[in-house]
Each structure stands twice: as C-alpha cells, then as structure tokens.
Structure 1
Amino acid sequence: MDMRTQTSPHRLGDDSRTLPIADGPELRAALEAANLQTLLMVYVHLTHDESMLETFKVHIHPPYTNPDYQIPQDCIEDLREKLLYVLTTPGAARPGDPPLDLMKKMMSVGVGEPVEDEFIPMVMEQAGFQRTAPRKEKPGRTPPPPGFKVLVIGAGLTGLLASIELERAGYDHVVIEKNEEVGGTWWKNRYPGVGVDTPSHFYSYSFEISPEWNHYHPHGADMREYFRSVADKYDLRRNIRFQTKVHSLEYDEKDAVWNVTVEDLKSGKRDVIRANAVFNAFGTADRWSLPDIKGIDSYKGIITHSAGYDETIDLKGKRVAVIGTGASSAQIVATIASEVSELAVFMRTKHWMINNPEVTKEVPEAVKWALRHIPHYKEWFRFRVFWFAADGLYPNVVKDPSYPEDGIAVSALNEGMRQYALSHMRHKLAGRPDLMEKLTPDFPIFSKRIVMDAGWYDALVMPHVTLEDSPITEITPTGIRTANGREYEVDVIICATGFRHGKLVKDLKITGREGHDLAVDWADEEERAYMGTTIPGYPNYFMSVGPNAGPNHAGGLNIVSEAQVHYMIECLDHMLASGARTIEPTQEAFVRHNRRIDDRMKHMIWTHPKSKSYYQNSKGRPVGPWPFRLVDMWNEMRGPVREDFRVE
C-alpha cells in the first residue's frame, strides 16, 4: 500500500476535556494504564492538594537511579480513588491553575529531582502550559510595513513552525518546498522501519501536543500525519510553493532585499522572489547520494538509498545487502530480517547501541484515552518525557578532567552508560563472541550518535544474517566483493550510508552585502555563525540549526527550532521598532561567540581524540553540537542582545 494515501489524523488543539467525566470502564481503564507520576500531577493540578506530594515524594526517583523500586500499592490505590472522585464529581476540582510555586514543587516531586528556577519558563512553554499571545496583538508594537515579506526555505518541522509564528506575528511570508507535501525529511524517508529516536510525546510542537501517537517513539508514518494535520489546522499550504527549489540568494544593498532565484520543478521555469528577510529552515538530513564505491554503476540488481527508498521493492525471499550500521541501518535490518532469505550487513563504523524498551512499544488505547480526555494529563505527560530526554542527559557529554584524555570514557557517569550498553550487548549476543568482537566500540559512548536497539541484535544472531566487517572493495554486476576476498551475490542493495552533513547550506549560492560570499566565508570548512542563526555580512538572513546549534546531547531539535524561530521574529521586531531596514550580528559579537563555543568545546566529549562522526568536519572540529544545555540556548534566545547587532 502506498503510505502517501494512508491517513491517521492527529487530534490537534482539541480541548474537549471537561469536568466532570462520566464514570465508566474507559475512565477506569485509563487510570489503571496511565503513568502514575503523571496522574499524581493531574490530581494536584486539579485540587492544589500538596499533602499528596508529601506522601509520594519519598517514593518517586529518576528512572535511571532506582529502576526496580516499586511504589507501595496502598499509595497507588489511594491516588487513583481520589483522582476518580475529582474527575467524576461536579465541583470537586478547584478552578484555575495552581500558583507557580506549587507548579515548581509538583515538577520536582514528579521527576524525583530538583527542577531549578532557570528551567521553569522553558518547561512551562515546552510542556504546553503557557503560550504567548499572537505578537500582532501586542499593544504598542511596530507592525511589519505593507509589502514587507519573509521567505522561508523548507516546509519540514522548522519551516512549518516558522510559517505558524510569522502568521501570528503579522508577517507576510512565502514558504518554498521542493517536495510535493509538507514534512521535510519525514515526508521523504520511507525505508522499512523508519522512525524517530526522540519520544513521540516530546518530538512535536509545544503548542500542538497530540494524543494520537501510536508508538512511544514515532514511526515515519506517524510523523507524516502529524505534520499534515498541523498544516491542515493552520491552513499553511496557502503560503507554500511546493515542488519548487531555491537556487540562489543574492542581497541587493540598495533596496535592502534578497533576490531569491527559485525553480518550479514541474515546468523547469525560474523566477526571482524579492524578500526583505530569509529564514533558511532546511535541515541536513535530505542530502544523500549513493556511496562512491568502485563498480557501483555496474550492478544489475536493485540498488537504493535509505533516504530515497522505493516502497514498491519486494524483499520477501530475496538476498539483500545493507551497507552501513548506523541508525537507519539498525531500523532497516531489524524490520526486514525475518522476510528475506539471506541478509548481509556491511559494517563501516561501530556504534553504541542503547536498550530502550519503549522504542518499539505501542501506546495502549487506554493511555490515548487519558491523553484525550483527562484534563492536563497530556501536558504533564509531555513534561515528564521532556525532562528525561533533554538536559538530564547533558552530564554524559562533559569531560571529567580526572579521566585520561584518550580513555574509553570521559566521566564516571559516562562509564556507567558504557557498562549499561555493554551489558545489553552481552545479553543479546550471548554465545556469539564473534559478533561481540566486531561490534564493541573503542570510543566513549555519546561521542557520536547513539543508536536505539529496536531488534538490531536479535536480527544479527539469526542464522541467515551475516555481519561483514571487512571493507567493501568493489560492487560487481551480481553483488559485493570485500577485502578479505569474499563475494556476496545479492538481489537488492540498500545503502544506509547517511547524509552529506558537511555543507550546512548544501549547494545553495548565498551572496551577502559588500561582496560577501558564503562559500568563501565558509571555505576550508570554517562554518560558523552567531548563536547558530545569523552571520555578519548577511543582513536579515537567519538559519535553523546552523553551526554549533545542534542538540547532540539529547532529543531536542523541536526545542531548538522553536527557540530559533522565536529569535528570528524578535530580531525582525527589534529592527522594525528601530525604524531600520536591516539587522545582522557585528563581527565582534560573532568572534566572541565562536571563541566561547571553542573554549567550551574543549571540555566536551566531541573533542575526545577517538570521537569521529558527522558532528565534526574533516579537520575534527565539532561543527554540529551546541556545547551547552538546551535551557541555556532557550534562555539566551529570548531576544537579541542589542549591542551585538548592527541595525541600519
């Protein structure tokens, strides 16, 4: 079946959760299945009853400190009984949200560790408790003048968000999208088992929390439908030019506008759009090509890349080769192993594999019911998922100076995570010392992207599956030849060989003021920006997840996107309020920011001598990761530091 025709719409912005709720089997099943800590938060939110927090706080611990601890059953039953009464009895719930001090106390008790004050504003937004009013309704604000236009490149996670927020701020805008539908990489990627490492109930917009996720970690189809539902709700397609490609951006100093050359991919016709500001919202995970392997053009069978996978390929009973052992490969291999006759996996590099039981787990219908109907459940559930998928992971990537510079771990916590991963590997590969030897990495865990085990190890121990670590020397007309002299005859080759992350703006030609050319300014792989968003010499040009803005210690691309879109609009608002036409960072601010990045990076795992991944450029400089916490980025991007910008 063509996945493009499947629909499973997400219920967005449906605030039909009213009290009282009729007592019945669905409500009782939801209370039995729902997360207990989240139910506690709901009860206190509805009653403001702090005594229940005192009862539970000695029993709630972070999941990684005491995973086997069981909350006493009498406490559990008491909570469910009291919450059932509040939900079903008219007038039992107190009106209004709890005061902020109580909310802060609830957060700390709910996750079993302190939630410090610096996190509260970000948490209130990211959990969906607060959202600022549309900026265009702000009294005294200088509105965008008639004819002022913003051009957004890409209609994926960040581009759709930009469209929503620009509309709320009153900015006329157009979105250029090369695909035929919204979703970006999640529209294009359709390989077997495609999914997301970040938990479903976190990997979404803070203001559009969907209760309809089918899995605790979303599959590709779930992501496609989420973004399509967002586009439907906000009527975003009216501002999108689909199947259109941006070729170049050229700044016109006289008129203070960008001349953006675009091509209609259906007709081949090119035209120029004049825009006062540009937001480059495309990511790096859409630039792929088949690997440069001798003889690849001679292969007579089916060859495909994971990022351009053809869903019509029938793998049943076929002899299949998968090149690569990263995240995409792990998902593909786990998914197809049981249906192919032979499977050869060609390993180029090793990866740390983490056991997360929820990565393949379906969300029970009773939990979906709770998310849909129990007031505040979805917000508190998102808070809990967010807390443990974000900055709680940051200590894993910070070097302890007492550890050897070239050791196998960078701290005691990092070593503990390494042992956790090794324990899982030993359990899954018991009796296969050959696989243990091939798969055990010699670099610190988290120094490059970790991979979730969604059946990868189980697939590799199957008798018809071979893991080959000898390098590929040639692709022949009938298969693959390796350096050890072995030849594999296969019917299908799947290249799970990743993306070309090296150039953050792809082959897009960008010419700024006074002769600035981004290809020259970023020559020799010196890709740098101010706050990963703006660059001196390129007025009114903004980018998402630019140099050193990647949330590589945690799941949090959606947080970065929301922060950067907010920052772009704050910058434009500041510019217009100043009566100016352009805004860009000063060279001094740019240099200072990047010196700060480099100084901090010395203390991070990504400068470990054994750390080699797409996080770094070919010289070894980490160009991808943000070396601070997500909360630091969020707080720093509330608005521009005025003295850091040239406003004219």
Structure 2
Amino acid sequence: MSERASRALLGDSPELTEALATANLPTLLAAYVHLSQDADFLERFAPHIRPAFSVPPTDIPPALADELRARLRRLLTTGAGLASTPLPDTLAQRIMSVTVGEPVEDEFIALVYDQCGFKPWIDRSAIPGRSHPPAGFRVLVIGAGLTGMAAATKLREAGYDHIVIEKNADIGGTWYENRYPGVGVDTSSHFYSFSWEIWPDWHHYHPQGGDMQQYLLEVADKYDLRRNMRFNTKVESLVYDEGTGTWTVTVLTADGQREEIVANAVINGHGPVNRFKFPDIPGLEGFTGPVVHTAAWPTDLDITGKRVAVIGTGASSAQLVGAIAPQVAQLTVYQRTKHWVLFNPEIAHEVADGMKWALAHIPTFKQWFRFRVFWAEADGLFANVLKDPAWEGNDLAVSQGNELTRQYALGYMRQKFADRPDLIAKLTPDFPIFSKRIILDNGWFDALRRDNVQLETSGIARILPHGIEARDGTVFECDVIVCATGFNVAKMLGDLTIRGIGGRDLGEEWGEEDPRSYLGMCVPGYPNYFHTVGPNSAPNHAAGQNLISECQVNWIIEALDRTVAADAKAFEVTRDAFDAWNRKVDARMPEMIWSHPRANSYYNNSKGRVFLSWPWRLVDYFNETRAPADGTYILHR
C-alpha cells in the first residue's frame, strides 16, 4: 500500500458511522471525489445542489446519499478507490462548482487554494535563492490580535527577527477585550480563522467570544508566538530616522517606565475597533451606579435582577440584550439608529459530534468545508452593495438583488412581530440593507418581545443620578447603564504619534476622521511603516477580515523581502501611486451602496466620505496583494 493510501485510512468505528450520517453531505462528496478522483460520480450530484440561500439548498436523493456514504466508508477503511496521483486543478475546480451549486471561475482558484489550506500561497523560507534578512534587521508589530498574530507567524516563517508589543496581558485583541454576555462572531467559525490553522474543534458554527479567544490561545501555544511578545506594554510614538532608515518606538511599560526600541520596520496591527467610545450625553458622569462599555465589561458585574439600561442598538447591543434579557428585572434599550436584521438559522447551532469528528479525521474534509463556508459568506454577497444605475433615486434599495434581500429581512421581522406592529414601526429602517452593518439575530428580536424589555426610540435627553430621561420626558430608573456605543473607527491612529520623513505627522495628515493610504497599508513619507486594516480595506460587503489581514501580511513581507534583496534600508510607496490609488477608490465609491444618500454609518466620516470600506470583492484584494506592483514604490539606500 502506498504512503498516500496509508495516510487516508481510518479504522471502521462508531465515530466514522456517526460522521458519515451527520456531516455536511456536499462536503463529504467533495472529500470523496478529492480522494478518489471519481469525476463521473461527482456529476451525478450536480443537478441536486443549488447555490447558497436557495430553498431547499439540495435535493439529493436518499439512495444517492447512501451510495456516497458507502463509497467513502469503503475508501477510508480499505483504501479501495483511492487515487494515487495529486488532484488535477481542473477536477478541483469542478468539485468547487458542483458542491456550491454554481460556477467557480478561474480567478478564484488561487484564493481558494490558499485560504482553504490546500496550497498555501507561498512559504518564503523555501524559496530557492531568496535573500535572507540580515542580522540586526528587526520588525516591530503593534498588537497581538488576529492581524498581529498573523504577522508574527509569517515573519518567523520568513526568517525575520521581530517583536510584538501588546497593551493587554495576553493575545487576542478584540476577543481578549470583549467579554460581555452574548459576545459572538457574525462570521462562521470555520472561515473566521487562519488559513494555515483550520480548527476542527469549534463548538458553534458561529463562535461565541470565548470560543474565538480559545482558538487564538491555542494558535499562540502551537506556534510559540509569545516568545516574541511583550505584554502589558503600550506603544506611544514612532519617529523615523532618515539617516539610519529606522524607527524609534517609545513604549510605556507596565510599571510606568518609558523605553525606546529601535526597529527597521513597523507593522501596526492595533485595529480600528480597539478604541471604544462612551456617548456624549449630559449627566453621564453623575450616574450613581455602574456605567460600563460592552468592550470593557467588568468580570465581577452581576446584573441579575437589576434594572438595566442599554444605550445603542448595533451588533454588540443585539448580542448583549439577547443574552441578559431573561436575567434582569427590567431592561430599557435606547435606540438612535435602526438596523437591518437577518436571520441565519446556524447562528446558535452547536457543531454535532459527528461533524467535529469528520473535520478532525476525514482527509480534506475540513478544507472543503472551509471552502463551502467561504463561498456562502464572501463574494457571493457582493451584488448587494453594488448599485444598479436603473435603481438610481430609490430610497430603499440599490438593485433587484438588494431589494430581494430587504424583502427577506422584512418578512422575517413581520413574522417575529406579527402581533406587535408597534415594534415593526420602531425597527424598520428607511435605508437600503447592507448600507450599514447587518445584525444577525441571535435572540435580539425575542428579547424585544419580552414583558420586561422596553425599546425607547425618542432619544435621550439627559442622564439622571438614578436613571435616564428620554426626550419625551419619560424617566427610567435603573441600577446599571451599559453603553453599546461602538468605537472611534475614523481616528485610525488613536493616540499614537507617528512622525515620518522631515518630521511630518501622520496624525495631523489624517486628522480626526479622514485617513487615506495605499491599499489600506502605506502612506508616502513613512518608509517601512505598514498600517494594517487601514483606510478602504475593510470587507464591509461580507465576511473576510481574516482574509484581508492575511493578504496584508503577505504583501508587507514581500515588500520587506524586496528591501532586503536590494540591500536597501526601507520601502516607501510613491506619491504618484498613493494619489492614483485614492483617485481610483474615490471614482469607484459612487457606484457602491455606502455612498447612498441614506447611508450614514461608521464607514463614513462626517462629510460623507466612505473611508473604511473596500469597494471591490475579496478576490480582488487577494489578487492586488500578491506583491507590490513595480513602479509603485522606491527603496531607500
């Protein structure tokens, strides 16, 4: 028996039986055809699998499903039918297309291979003739959240000496900090993770906050990331030295001491949702009870039986309210902005034991399931945010597809509140769906129906010592105020000072709310400074921040490699490339839903400019970031 065959073999067991009976059937098909290369059998399923969100998504005949399970069992337990050669690209693409019920075009293949763990884009340590980073060349990474961890992993793989500075006591970033009841992730677990570490142990199809943090902790342990990390340390300033081509980084240590670290390059991974903000409401400081923000939830706060006020109705509020409504005595939710709500039946589903076993043990299954989740939640949703000129002037939708999605959301709301027309009136938005962040319902609507929950929409006049006075004069006496009021996203540097060539100040250039960059990463005048998750790089049409982060890390290390190979000191994007890119973004944005007259969210600044969103597909960002384009940068020597 070949080595390939022996690796695929599993013992016949009750666990295998349960996995075959309960695991996702199109993914079992993908794994079987990948292992067997039985293209003819694949085609028998093609008429029975439809695109994501179809009703029903499949109508696979039971006899055909049973035949698949029997074939896969035989292959896994005996090796019968196992192909002896690598999977051809043409068959891989056909598996993709059949199992998601629609064509997967050529432009997506490299992305799928990379993001689903089949063929990682590049392992720089294995490139023949590659120039290795010289001794003493050091990269400093700000933040040990998802992006910072990606940077640390890939910097080590590429041979770069590096240090990660993290203000918190451990890794995790957003998922270390956000611990409020009900905290969770909108993106599906099996996609919102690193492509090189696909985890089979998720408890839910959409991870709760603790699950996400546990995953990141296990990744940190497996890759020994803490070895290059300093915790409880905050970066205060970066100052560029033109003579040496280095950055002097001033940090504040846990004991209050300031220290300077010299680095050749800086990767800023502190993220846009790291600086939470309290609302500017008169009297807030005078409230006599606890006032907390969802992003800084006290571990010892007990709201059981208390009267609680929640300010805000965005994603964090919806998760929190759904979780605490059954526990509190009274709950009043203060709404300033209405939000569209979609129902995904998987949002609270636990991953069955058979599915977990398949992910952990059946060869290629976890990769194919990640592909399936990615395809449903990524660029297939892009049509929702692209304006159709024929719909110009419509206040509520920007295309036929966008209108259909709106009607789906309306239908769900009307079903949930069939006997509560008052709530339908209070909750129905007057802007196109997807022009602001979507809420996935995980108990939000059910909570609003409860007798002990009140939705207040008249606005807040002021905070009293023992309660909140609404603008209509009503007063809600409460014990605790929770601010689910989001983050200061527009001021992307926070309180960080960055001084580049000639002493120029990036904070002054960006101001309070108008950041611009090249590809969301670089600004001319700041050599070897890379700002991840920066302006106009957020995938606001779909899931995929993890993909964007990986793409940016790839591009940054390629930029560093070009610097090292040329024996140069630093990499700097040109002003021409920066200006051309921003003109391209500005020309594109009027075609996008976020520029709709009724769209007004944290994606936009106060002048209406969409500074946050990436206005193309994820596959376009992937393709743009394979390497810096020739002619777009200079190398300082």
Q: Say whether residues 1:639 and 2:618 are aligned partners.
A: no
Contact 1:406 1:608 in 2 (8 A): no
Q: Say whether residues 1:382 and 2:366 are aligned partners.
A: no
**Take 1:418 and 1:496, find their aligned partners in 2: how far apart are those partners?**
25
SS at the partner of 2:468? Answer: strand
Q: Say whether residues 1:467 and 2:458 are aligned partners.
A: no
Contact 1:153 1:176 in 2 (8 A): yes
Answer with 313-322 or 351-360: which moved more: 313-322
**Take 2:61 and 2:455, find their aligned partners in 1: how far apart are those partners?**
46
Change (3 A) 1:96 1:233: farther
Matches of residues 600-615 of structure 1 in structure 2 within 5 Å?
600-615=588-603
Please state how far the C-alpha of 1:406 moved relative to its aligned partner. 4.5
Answer with 227-236 or 85-94: which moved more: 85-94
Contact 1:17 1:374 in 2 (8 A): no
SS at the partner of 1:525? Answer: coil
Q: TM-score with structure 2 length normalisation?
A: 0.98
Look up the match of 2:252. Answer: 263
SS at the partner of 1:485? Answer: coil
Structure 1 residues 92-148: Cα deviation after superposition (integer angstroms, max 9, x where no partner):
422343111110111011111111111100100111101256313322111111100
SS at the partner of 2:488? Answer: coil
Q: Say whether residues 1:220 and 2:200 are aligned partners.
A: no
The amino acid of 2:298's aligned partner reads: D
Look up the match of 1:51. Answer: 40
Matches of residues 122-201 of structure 1 in structure 2 within 5 Å?
122-132=111-121, 134-201=123-190
Matches of residues 224-263 of structure 1 in structure 2 within 5 Å?
224-263=213-252
Structure 1 residues 286-325: Cα deviation after superposition (integer angstroms, max 9, x where no partner):
2113222111111111221100001221121111111110
Contact 1:406 1:610 in 2 (8 A): no
Please state how far the C-alpha of 1:477 moved relative to its aligned partner. 1.0
The amino acid of 2:341's aligned partner reads: M
Please state how far the C-alpha of 1:19 moved relative to its aligned partner. 3.2
Look up the match of 2:509. Answer: 521
The amino acid of 1:501's aligned partner reads: V
Please state how far the C-alpha of 1:520 moved relative to its aligned partner. 2.3
**Take 2:479 and 2:74, find their aligned partners in 1: how far apart are those partners?**
62
Look up the match of 1:395. Answer: 383
Counterpart of 1:79 (choices 68, 89, 93) is 68
The amino acid of 2:468's aligned partner reads: I
**Take 1:492 and 1:198, find their aligned partners in 2: how far apart are those partners?**
30
Contact 2:490 2:514 in 1 (8 A): no
**Take 1:586 and 1:532, find their aligned partners in 2: how far apart are those partners?**
14
Look up the match of 1:343. Answer: 331
Counterpart of 1:571 (choices 536, 559, 572) is 559
Contact 1:16 1:373 in 2 (8 A): no
- Following TM superposition, the consecutive aligned residue runs of length 4 or more in structure 1 with deviations greater than 6 angstroms are none
Please state how far the C-alpha of 1:88 moved relative to its aligned partner. 1.2
**Take 2:580 and 2:306, find their aligned partners in 1: how far apart are those partners?**
56
The amino acid of 1:75's aligned partner reads: L
SS at the partner of 1:402? Answer: helix
Look up the match of 1:441. Answer: 429
Contact 2:265 2:529 in 1 (8 A): yes
Look up the match of 2:577. Answer: 589
Look up the match of 2:314. Answer: 326
**Take 1:132 and 1:593, find their aligned partners in 2: how far apart are those partners?**
25
Please state how far the C-alpha of 1:52 moved relative to its aligned partner. 1.4
Look up the match of 1:29. Answer: 18
Structure 1 residues 420-466: Cα deviation after superposition (integer angstroms, max 9, x where no partner):
00000001111101100000000000001000000111110111110
Please state how far the C-alpha of 1:30 moved relative to its aligned partner. 0.6
Counterpart of 1:65 (choices 36, 54, 67) is 54
Answer with 596-605 or 514-523: which moved more: 514-523
Matches of residues 348-387 of structure 1 in structure 2 within 5 Å?
348-387=336-375
Q: TM-score with structure 1 length normalisation?
A: 0.96
Structure 1 residues 157-180: Cα deviation after superposition (integer angstroms, max 9, x where no partner):
000110010001111000000000
Identity %: 54
Contact 2:240 2:247 in 1 (8 A): yes
Structure 1 residues 174-226: Cα deviation after superposition (integer angstroms, max 9, x where no partner):
00000000000100110000000000000000010000000000011011111
The amino acid of 2:238's aligned partner reads: L
Counterpart of 2:617 (choices 626, 629, 645) is 629
Please state how far the C-alpha of 1:579 moved relative to its aligned partner. 2.2
Please state how far the C-alpha of 1:283 moved relative to its aligned partner. 0.7
The amino acid of 2:517's aligned partner reads: A
Structure 1 residues 253-282: Cα deviation after superposition (integer angstroms, max 9, x where no partner):
111100100010x21000110000000011
Structure 1 residues 360-381: Cα deviation after superposition (integer angstroms, max 9, x where no partner):
1111111101111111110000
**Take 1:17 and 1:358, find their aligned partners in 2: how far apart are those partners?**
35
SS at the partner of 1:466? Answer: strand
SS at the partner of 2:346? Answer: helix
Aligned alpha-carbon RMSD (Å): 1.4
Answer with 131-140 or 247-256: which moved more: 131-140
The amino acid of 2:621's aligned partner reads: M
Please state how far the C-alpha of 1:331 moved relative to its aligned partner. 0.4
Contact 1:249 1:261 in 2 (8 A): yes
Look up the match of 1:312. Answer: 300
Structure 1 residues 531-566: Cα deviation after superposition (integer angstroms, max 9, x where no partner):
111110000010111100001101000100000000
- How many residue pairs were aligned? 633
**Take 1:117 and 1:587, find their aligned partners in 2: how far apart are those partners?**
33
Contact 2:286 2:463 in 1 (8 A): yes
**Take 1:347 and 1:137, find their aligned partners in 2: how far apart are those partners?**
54
**Take 2:103 and 2:283, find their aligned partners in 1: how far apart are those partners?**
58
The amino acid of 2:281's aligned partner reads: I
SS at the partner of 2:631? Answer: helix
SS at the partner of 1:322? Answer: strand
Q: Say whether residues 1:104 and 2:82 are aligned partners.
A: no
SS at the partner of 1:474? Answer: strand
Contact 2:272 2:533 in 1 (8 A): no
Contact 1:17 1:372 in 2 (8 A): no
SS at the partner of 1:358? Answer: coil
Structure 1 residues 40-89: Cα deviation after superposition (integer angstroms, max 9, x where no partner):
00110111000111100011101323336522111111111111111111
SS at the partner of 1:643? Answer: coil
Contact 1:410 1:444 in 2 (8 A): yes
What runs of 5+ residues in structure 1 fail to find an aligned partner?
A: 1-14
The amino acid of 2:591's aligned partner reads: H
The amino acid of 1:505's aligned partner reads: L
Contact 2:189 2:206 in 1 (8 A): yes
Q: Say whether residues 1:483 and 2:471 are aligned partners.
A: yes
Look up the match of 1:432. Answer: 420
Contact 1:605 1:611 in 2 (8 A): yes
The amino acid of 1:22's aligned partner reads: G
Matches of residues 549-560 of structure 1 in structure 2 within 5 Å?
549-560=537-548
Contact 1:17 1:373 in 2 (8 A): no
The amino acid of 2:120's aligned partner reads: R
Contact 2:36 2:83 in 1 (8 A): yes
**Take 1:186 and 1:575, find their aligned partners in 2: how far apart are those partners?**
34
**Take 2:79 and 2:205, find their aligned partners in 1: how far apart are those partners?**
33
Please state how far the C-alpha of 1:416 moved relative to its aligned partner. 0.3
Contact 2:5 2:79 in 1 (8 A): no
Change (3 A) 1:597 1:17: farther
The amino acid of 2:538's aligned partner reads: G
The amino acid of 1:35's aligned partner reads: N
